[in-house]
Chain A
């Protein structure tokens, strides 16, 4: 629903006039309109940043700011559901002569802006990557693309499977909104990466902290928004072609987009996009990792129609991947694991190959969605989104079945088919008294999972309904926000116990709330505070797991009596944004009660493959507190230093202990030199960066087979530029070297840390050809 990227534009008419008595008699007035509809936007806030003067647009979308002294200002316009828009105004230099003009002789300034609709609470930190920063991540998977944000790390299974981690929380505790639809896959597994092609998006955003009210249950750690560009309604044909090559894994990625309007059909727009990726065995500094190739084919189609207040969008995407799992990571028993740890490197050696053999996973994800919205004349807006997702995951074990006739079938040992239907209706009500803007919504989700093969999780049906209501009040540089939500969920599981079908019913329900404030002290300085709650019902793997996890040599057992976990997150940040220096400091304190985790049991459990360490899903109370700091400073002209620090401490309050699998603290520094703009060369830059990741020392004693890996430091260099080939054609070139010194390292949040080193040096070449409008 909220994924519909929405554009609107402002027409700003600046009138500069001199009054007879005072110099401070300049005024700015204009109208705020919606680009799709051309209709005025009622109730938008227009303010001069740094001053306590702000007005709302009237029923005709008009606003007027009076009594301004000559000078430079930043005008800001905000409305719920849109990112704030800022525009610099100069009411001094070059305009003095205008002061003699009559009011009718207007200095007219038309500004057309494309702003993106986001529904994230404004008092929660929202980081966005788009444009050239996003281009630099092209070719990487979704989680890797997000690693540039402070407080965001990744949980990896080797180098090709990674999942985003926000403030130490991941998997089911993070929600991914793919094009406005809740991504529903088998998120519970650490080797189950999000099934999304990042090339779909022109914007990736992270909402940090509990955002349960707007996005629904599970958003305990945060929300990731994957948003494509607005469709090119009535525009001429345009497109882009991306080609990325990586030396490590000899990986190639090709992605293209074509888009445009349709001549003779006013209001139409369409887009077709596709990506192919192929890579072979990954090389660590000292050896290749056997069977770590990847093959991926994705495409998406979108079409839309706009007329007056009406908008209709349809979207279809298919993601299809085949990923080899490092064969040395298949562990039969604890003895196997201990001997590979002792050996220091994998027993399985190999050279380079593109071949993907067992073990491997083949995953496809299909999304079809339709969205429609309507703006009413009076300022109300309705949006309705329906979507259907099909997630088909097939996992092949290292060993084929011993029985030849079964082996010949080459069936996956594990198959999960998850079908999800979501349905969201959102009403943006018209502003009340010009000050209070808000949103009400109903979301439903129906889901069923069919599982086949080695028993792992049961089949289930799940139904969820949620109601939410949020309001925002803006006055005098203050922005206050409050919202609440109620969710009700039923879950019915079906499994075979002693050759009998057993079904079990679960019911969960909960309220979530959010309360926040934003204060703009001046044009450059602002502060935010947000209290948010979110909850998460235990998932089927936490309820019913019962078996050996072959990657971790652990016996994991679920508990059907688990209760939902609840998070209360306090998050505060201050931001200073000057012309040469920008800094943002954020702190968070997330209290999660009944936090579900795998608790080591004192007695090992006996299986035919020997005794395995025994872990049971248990609940405790955990606190996650941390600091995110980012700063950038232009020390001399064209040269910028930037730093990002992520610091996190997690504690198990009930047992007075640390928790396992918490990302280590890290600091990322970069120095970047940007060449002055040239007629032919644009945005040419050269940068050197270093990432230092500390050792995770806060782990429970004797909780792991080996101590968390040592700290590591990685260097990278990047350079790139954009050429204007012609008026309508651009070529962007980028070269990057990751792990410049080919350092052998292991990361605590990589499941393969027991078996092998992480990826060695990787040189990449990136080309992007863009043509048309």
Chain B
């Protein structure tokens, strides 16, 4: 029958069309090393007048999601001491690990580290570095402890492109971590 032939022809052609140009999206999956992550944040406290450095880290090797953070140390300090505080940010999802601290240093006029202890009596922080506009950066600084006690130390990296004015308000958080703080 003429019509049946026409129908068959159309269906066959239609089916053929639906499979042409098929591409496998799987071939295109590749590891992307351009993507920036911060997977580890390390606070390095060096007691003044000594070379005793203690490090406290937050590590989430695969970034947000996936596996849970593997390390989140309690910052343990001695009372009535002055420390030099340096911070290191790494992206360890890449090989070799990329050093985000250096990138922050290069764009220091867009970044501000903020260290906030609660209660505020536990620790006093003073910036030890300045950017081109004479605002603090916080890659290095001084932390002075007083009496013993426990609380929190909030560490923020504020990303403030074009709006940095020395205060934490502008911009948004690139890092926002609350370490447990123990001064004893």
Which of B57-65, B79-87, B136-144 lines the interface with chain A? B57-65
Which of A443-451, A475-483, A685-693 lines the interface with chain B? A443-451
User: Contact partner of A609 among B10, B20, B174, CB < 8 A?
Assistant: B174
Count chain B residues whose beta carbon lies closer than 8 angstroms to a beta carbon of A. 58
Say whether B14 faces chain A, with CB atoms less than 8 Å apart: yes
> Contacts A333-B173, A335-B176, A401-B34 given: A608-B60 contact, CB under 8 Å?
yes
A258 to chain B, nearest CB (A): 31
Residues of the A chain whose Cβ atoms lie less than 8 Å from the Cβ of B63: 608
Residues of the A chain whose Cβ atoms lie less than 8 Å from the Cβ of B39: 608
Say whether B132 faces chain A, with CB atoms less than 8 Å apart: no
With the chains together, A546 CA to B3 CA distance in Å?
53
Say whether A215 faces chain B, with CB atoms less than 8 Å apart: no
Instruction: Verify B14–A423 contact, CB threshold 8 A.
Output: yes
Residues of the B chain whose Cβ atoms lie less than 8 Å from the Cβ of A421: 17-18, 20-22
With the chains together, A427 CA to B34 CA distance in Å?
51
With the chains together, A70 CA to B68 CA distance in Å?
83
Say whether B164 faces chain A, with CB atoms less than 8 Å apart: no
Instruction: Verify B18–A608 contact, CB threshold 8 A.
Output: no
Say whether B97 faces chain A, with CB atoms less than 8 Å apart: no
With the chains together, A331 CA to B174 CA distance in Å?
10
With the chains together, A495 CA to B172 CA distance in Å?
29
With the chains together, A404 CA to B106 CA distance in Å?
9
Chain B 14-55: CB-based contact to A (< 8 A → 1; otherwise 0): 110111111111101111101110110100000000000000
Say whether A752 faces chain B, with CB atoms less than 8 Å apart: no
> Contacts A606-B68, A606-B69, A608-B60 given: A446-B173 contact, CB under 8 Å?
no
Residues of the A chain whose Cβ atoms lie less than 8 Å from the Cβ of B17: 386, 421, 423
User: Contact partner of A419 among B7, B23, B34, CB < 8 A?
Assistant: B23
Residues of the B chain whose Cβ atoms lie less than 8 Å from the Cβ of A374: 6
Instruction: Verify B65–A444 contact, CB threshold 8 A.
Output: no
Chain B 143-180: CB-based contact to A (< 8 A → 1; otherwise 0): 00000000000000001010100000111111111100
Which among A495, A605, A606 has the greatest number of chain B C-beta atoms within 10 A?
A: A606
> Contacts A402-B104, A607-B64 given: A332-B21 contact, CB under 8 Å?
no
Instruction: Verify A332–B18 contact, CB threshold 8 A.
Output: no
> Contacts A403-B103, A453-B32, A494-B26 given: A444-B15 contact, CB under 8 Å?
yes
With the chains together, A380 CA to B1 CA distance in Å?
14
Chain A 714-747: CB-based contact to B (< 8 A → 1; otherwise 0): 0000000000000000000000000000000000
Residues of the B chain whose Cβ atoms lie less than 8 Å from the Cβ of A461: 22, 24-26
Say whether A499 faces chain B, with CB atoms less than 8 Å apart: yes
Instruction: Verify B26–A330 contact, CB threshold 8 A.
Output: no
Residues of the A chain whose Cβ atoms lie less than 8 Å from the Cβ of B24: 448, 461
User: Contact partner of B174 among A332, A400, A458, CB < 8 A?
Assistant: A332
Residue of B nearest to A558 (CB): B65
Which among B34, B163, B170, B177 has the greatest number of chain A C-beta atoms within 10 A?
A: B34
Instruction: Verify B3–A332 contact, CB threshold 8 A.
Output: no
Residues of the A chain whose Cβ atoms lie less than 8 Å from the Cβ of B69: 606
With the chains together, A424 CA to B13 CA distance in Å?
11
> Contacts A404-B106, A609-B174 given: A382-B7 contact, CB under 8 Å?
yes
User: Contact partner of A459 among B11, B28, B172, CB < 8 A?
Assistant: B28
B113 to chain A, nearest CB (A): 13
> Contacts A333-B173, A546-B65, A608-B38 given: A459-B25 contact, CB under 8 Å?
yes
B94 to chain A, nearest CB (A): 10
User: Contact partner of B31 among A399, A496, A608, CB < 8 A?
Assistant: A496
Residue of B nearest to A383 (CB): B10
With the chains together, A398 CA to B161 CA distance in Å?
9
A contact patch SS: strand
Instruction: Verify B65–A608 contact, CB threshold 8 A.
Output: no
Count chain A residues whose beta carbon lies closer than 8 angstroms to a beta carbon of B. 69
Instruction: Verify A610–B32 contact, CB threshold 8 A.
Output: no
A222 to chain B, nearest CB (A): 26
Instruction: Verify B161–A399 contact, CB threshold 8 A.
Output: yes
Compute the total of residue contacts between A and B using a CB distance below 8 Å. Answer: 157
Chain A 326-349: CB-based contact to B (< 8 A → 1; otherwise 0): 000011110110010000000110
Say whether B107 faces chain A, with CB atoms less than 8 Å apart: yes
Instruction: Verify A609–B176 contact, CB threshold 8 A.
Output: yes
Residue of A nearest to B65 (CB): A546
> Contacts A427-B7, A608-B177 given: A398-B64 contact, CB under 8 Å?
no
Residue of B nearest to A409 (CB): B34
With the chains together, A404 CA to B178 CA distance in Å?
29
Say whether B181 faces chain A, with CB atoms less than 8 Å apart: no
Instruction: Verify A546–B66 contact, CB threshold 8 A.
Output: yes
Residues of the B chain whose Cβ atoms lie less than 8 Å from the Cβ of A499: 31
Residues of the B chain whose Cβ atoms lie less than 8 Å from the Cβ of A382: 6-7, 10
Instruction: Verify B178–A610 contact, CB threshold 8 A.
Output: yes
Say whether B127 faces chain A, with CB atoms less than 8 Å apart: no
Residue of A nearest to B95 (CB): A499
Say whether A452 faces chain B, with CB atoms less than 8 Å apart: yes
Instruction: Verify B173–A496 contact, CB threshold 8 A.
Output: no
Which among A348, A413, A557, A608 has the greatest number of chain B C-beta atoms within 10 A?
A: A608
Instruction: Verify B36–A401 contact, CB threshold 8 A.
Output: yes
User: Contact partner of A423 among B18, B25, B159, B170, CB < 8 A?
Assistant: B18
User: Contact partner of B19 among A330, A427, A446, A458, CB < 8 A?
Assistant: A446
Instruction: Verify A608–B172 contact, CB threshold 8 A.
Output: no
B5 to chain A, nearest CB (A): 13
Say whether B72 faces chain A, with CB atoms less than 8 Å apart: yes
> Contacts A425-B11, A555-B65 given: A449-B25 contact, CB under 8 Å?
yes
A542 to chain B, nearest CB (A): 15
Which among B11, B39, B170 has the greatest number of chain A C-beta atoms within 10 A?
A: B11
With the chains together, A386 CA to B176 CA distance in Å?
51
With the chains together, A455 CA to B100 CA distance in Å?
19
Instruction: Verify A442–B66 contact, CB threshold 8 A.
Output: no
Instruction: Verify A496–B26 contact, CB threshold 8 A.
Output: no
Instruction: Verify B172–A330 contact, CB threshold 8 A.
Output: yes
User: Contact partner of A503 among B14, B19, B26, B32, CB < 8 A?
Assistant: B26
Residues of the A chain whose Cβ atoms lie less than 8 Å from the Cβ of B26: 459, 461, 492, 494, 501, 503
With the chains together, A605 CA to B65 CA distance in Å?
8
Say whether A655 faces chain B, with CB atoms less than 8 Å apart: no
Instruction: Verify A448–B65 contact, CB threshold 8 A.
Output: no
With the chains together, A458 CA to B29 CA distance in Å?
8
Kindly list the 3 A-B residue pairs having the minimum CB-CB distance in the complex, ordered from nearest: A332-B173, A332-B172, A610-B176
Task: Apart from A336-B172, A398-B161, A444-B15, list 10 A-B contacts with CB within 8 A.
Answer: A332-B173, A348-B163, A402-B100, A402-B106, A425-B14, A448-B24, A461-B25, A496-B30, A497-B66, A503-B26
Interface residues of chain A, those whose CB is within 8 Å of chain B, are: 330-333, 335-336, 339, 347-348, 374, 376, 380, 382, 384, 386, 388, 398-404, 406, 409, 411, 413, 419, 421, 423-425, 427, 442, 444-446, 448-450, 452-455, 458-461, 492, 494-499, 501, 503, 546-548, 555, 557, 605-611
Can you list 17 A-B pairs, Cβ within 8 angstroms, ordered by A?
Answer: A332-B171, A332-B172, A335-B176, A382-B10, A386-B17, A398-B161, A399-B174, A401-B36, A403-B36, A406-B34, A424-B14, A448-B23, A453-B34, A501-B26, A503-B26, A607-B64, A608-B175
